[in-house]
Amino acid sequence: MEGLTTSRRDFGPHKVLPVKSYQPNPFVPSEENMDLLTTYKQDYNPYPVCRMGPIKPRDSKYPCGDKMECLPTYKADYLPWNQPRRELLRPEHHYRPASTGFDSRTTHQDDYSVKGLVSTVSCKPLAMPKLCNIPLEDLTNYKMSYVAHPLEKRFVYEAEKFRPCNIPFESLTTHKESYRGLMGKPAKSLKPPARSCGLETPFSNTTEFRDKYQAWPTPQMFSKVPVSYVPPEEKMDLLTTVQAHYTYPKGAPAQSFRPVLSVKKGGHFESSTTTKDDYKHWPGIHREPVKPIPQLSIPTEPLDCLTTMRAHYVPHPPISTKSCKPPWAVPRGNIPVEGQTTYTISFTPKNMGRCLASYPEPPGYTFEETDALGHKIYRPVAQTGSQHSSHLSVGDSENPNQRELAVSA
């Protein structure tokens, strides 16, 4: 096998130089001190804060002892009608199961019988051992370039003995040393005084809904009996145009013209590639990260725990709004609902006639000619002698009464 590939023949090795790395400028610390003031400390000054009262109403301490009537408005005003149950509008059940047993066989089981195994002959060539007299070259780049260096003896550090400290341990922490309790005034309670319930009148069980919203008498709904369905007498032809005209008598599956791929078997496989021969590994150097010097100094003053809400919020008294609800109008009288609609007035049931296109020869018409598109044209028998001819296509499905009007016009 020739050891020349397309990559070796077309792409020659070029001299590759190491990539130049960018050296950042050395960090120079600033000599100025950092101003630790923030916008919050400069613009938001502390103000006296007063506690806001709760908006949620208080729970009553004196519950009512009377028993509540558990009759809602829906049960008291809206009573069910005493109407007979309607019959369901569904077709009658005419299906009767067959008396014979179901054989449970499919079309595949009937048409495709089980065939025995077919003995085939393998066309695979025999695996013959290929002997080579050339000895295998076991020299590698690692064996040729590796130089064994003598290892130095490892230095072992001796552990120092533990020496206990003679100075006693101080039990002071950063919290005990820096944060000391300051004496201040106790917090004042802003809880409003308790109000006594001054209402002595009993609780009224009448509501606005019971007084003003009365139930209207609802008339009985008018339902019209639907027209009974009359199924057609003729059976439907379930054949489609493709099944009737396109039968494909000389059809055959397509054959593949793709050539068979020939597999070439060679001798020794050469595992060297262009990347292994031309692109060698460069020695890498580990770089230390550049870390800035910390310049932040922690303030010694304690943090004031005031927020913008506590500092700037001013309580305002509630504003009573005026109700824009319209006044109650007088309820209308017991006027019955008119049960007539446009559908019930103008609808007239019509008989379903058979389409003339379903006949092989339409009654009342004679065949005249066939046009260029393949449509059959018929003429009425009553107007055979006149010059006016009525064109009727086999695919038309209009009413015969409408067709006669069109022909006479």
d(CA 399, CA 392): 12
User: Quick one: which of 358, 355, 361 has its CA closest to 400?
Assistant: 355
d(CA 210, CA 71): 12
DSSP output for 22-35: P-PPPP---SSPPP
Q: Is the pLDDT of residue 130 over 50?
A: yes
User: Phi/psi of residue 370, each to 5°?
Assistant: -120, 125
Lookup: tokens for 19 = 């990539």
Please say whether the beta carbons of 407 and 380 come within 8 A: yes
d(CA 141, CA 279): 15
- pLDDT for 381 equals 84
Q: Read off the pLDDT of each residue in 60-85 and give the average, rounded to a whole number.
A: 78
Longest pairwise C-alpha distance within the chain? 143
Q: What is the pLDDT of residues 135-186, one digit of tens each?
A: 878 888 888 888 888 888 888 888 888 888 888 878 788 888 877 777 778 8
- pLDDT for 199 equals 60
CA-derived radius of gyration, the chain: 53
pLDDT class of 60 with cuts at 50, 70, 90: low
DSSP output for 50-66: -PPPP-SPPPPSS---S
Q: What is the pLDDT of residues 197-211, one digit of tens each?
A: 656 667 777 888 888
- Name the H helices within 227-362: 241-245, 274-278, 308-312, 342-346
- How many other C-beta atoms lie within 10 A of the C-beta of residue 116? 5
User: Residue 378: helix, strand or coil by DSSP?
Assistant: strand
User: Phi/psi of residue 277, each to 5°?
Assistant: -80, -40
Per-residue burial over 273-297, b if 16 or more Cβ lie within 10 Å, else e, is eeeeeeeeeeeeeeeeeeeeeeeee
Lookup: tokens for 292 = 């800035």
pLDDT class of 248 with cuts at 50, 70, 90: low
Lookup: tokens for 208 = 């606005």
- pLDDT for 265 equals 62
Return the higher-pLDDT residue of 200 and 305. 305
- If residue 367 lies in a helix (H) or strand (E), which one and from where to where? strand 365-370
- How many other C-beta atoms lie within 10 A of the C-beta of residue 365? 19
Is pTM beyond 0.75? Reply is no
- pLDDT for 330 equals 61
Q: What are residue 378's DSSP bridge partners?
A: 367
**CA-CA-CA-CA dihedral for 136, 137, 138, 141, to nearest 10:** -150
d(CA 214, CA 285): 93
- pLDDT for 264 equals 62
- Name the H helices within 92-235: 107-111, 141-145, 174-178, 208-212
HEC assignment per residue over 121-135:
CCCCCCCCCCCCCCC
Please say whether the beta carbons of 352 and 346 come within 8 A: no
Lookup: tokens for 86 = 């309607």
- If residue 204 lies in a helix (H) or strand (E), which one and from where to where? none
d(CA 5, CA 12): 12
Please say whether the beta carbons of 274 and 9 come within 8 A: no
- pLDDT for 335 equals 67
Lookup result for tokens 């007539």 = 340
